Amino acid sequence: MIKSAEEIEKMRTAGKLAAQVLDMIEPHVVPGITTEELDNICHSYIVECQHAIPAPLNYRGFPKSICTSVNHVVCHGIPSAKVLKQGDIINIDITVIKDEYHGDTSKMFYVGKPSVKAERLSKTAYECLCIGINMVKPGTRLGDIGYAISRHAENNNYSIVRDYCGHGIGRQFHEEPQVLHYGTPNTGLELQAGMTFTIEPMLNIGKRDVKLLQDDWTVVTKDKSLSAQWEHTILVTSFGFDVLTKRPDEVFNLGSSDISV
């Protein structure tokens, strides 16, 4: 569970590559493109430009190289012939393997101009991620992080999906521990320097209940309400945290007056 300095450097490289894929794909997320086309572009970039491996492809039978979760799809959406239209919101989830280590991150994208409610949902989901990230340091317990994330979501009248969670990551795509986005303060695993895991809160406008479609991958909200998710791979350092999948424009600033924990 605790990574060596050499392992951390490999994860840092994989994380940087995953972040670059999200930056690369952004100009392509426009009305009229299909999620399958987005998958093809990302696959080619990861394999041909980064000389890396798209981790989702054939992982437990998953058929594509990225996950594309549109509107009421919570997570694990399979790229297809679905055409994106004006006003859609989409989560693109990227996991890259480089030198046997994983970098895992996702981001919400707007297709054209989003509705006010979709934009607010996405913004709050990102705030939840930032709240979780800023709590990471040795001695913090996972229950503290989960509680703070869920409280911020619920204070803004959103529900937190409980069926899916963050996870340890390294040589394996999914390792221990499970990182829940709800919890009880002062409970759960105590963080130590050298741990690596994802935080990836999923917020719904409606109820938190979800269902798995017949493809055994796509997860949707039961009430068909909009859902939003953001994800980063985090390293616990001696003094706090390092976001291994950080994009250049991110600062994880919690100075906004509308964030309360």
Alpha carbons 107 and 129: distance in angstroms, whole number: 11
Which residue type sits at 190?
Answer: E
Q: What average pLDDT does the structure give for the chain?
A: 96
pLDDT band at 254 (very low <50, low <70, confident <90, very high): low
Q: In the predicted model, what is the mean pLDDT of residues 126-143?
A: 97
| Inside any domain, residue 251 | no
| Inside any domain, residue 41 | yes
pLDDT band at 261 (very low <50, low <70, confident <90, very high): very low
Alpha carbons 92 and 22: distance in angstroms, whole number: 8
Tokens 């998953």, located at residue: 62
Q: What are phi and psi of 251, to 5 degrees?
A: -125, -10
**CB-hemisphere CA count at 13 Å for 197?**
29
| Inside any domain, residue 19 | yes
pLDDT at 16 over 90: yes
Which residue type sits at 194?
Answer: G
Looking at residue 193, its pLDDT comes to 98
Q: In the predicted model, what is the mean pLDDT of residues 179-206?
A: 98
| Inside any domain, residue 18 | yes
Looking at residue 256, its pLDDT comes to 46
| Inside any domain, residue 192 | yes
Domains contained in the chain, number: 1
Alpha carbons 257 and 110: distance in angstroms, whole number: 24
| Inside any domain, residue 256 | no
Q: Which domain holds residue 48?
A: 5-243
Tokens 């040589």, located at residue: 171
pLDDT at 258 over 70: no
| Inside any domain, residue 61 | yes
- CATH number of residue 129's parent domain: 3.90.230.10
Contact (Cβ atoms closer than 8 angstroms) between residue 167 and residue 142? no
Alpha carbons 227 and 221: distance in angstroms, whole number: 7
pLDDT at 2 over 90: yes
pLDDT band at 251 (very low <50, low <70, confident <90, very high): confident
| Inside any domain, residue 254 | no
Looking at residue 255, its pLDDT comes to 53
Which residue type sits at 118?
Answer: A
Q: What are phi and psi of 167, to 5 degrees?
A: -160, 155
Contact (Cβ atoms closer than 8 angstroms) between residue 50 and residue 95? no
CA angle 95, 93, 244 (to 5 degrees): 55
Looking at residue 259, its pLDDT comes to 43
Q: In the predicted model, what is the mean pLDDT of residues 103-117?
A: 98
Q: What percent of the chain has pLDDT over 70?
A: 97
Alpha carbons 202 and 207: distance in angstroms, whole number: 12
pLDDT at 260 over 80: no
Contact (Cβ atoms closer than 8 angstroms) between residue 218 and residue 78? yes
Q: In the predicted model, what is the mean pLDDT of residues 226-234?
A: 98
Looking at residue 257, its pLDDT comes to 39
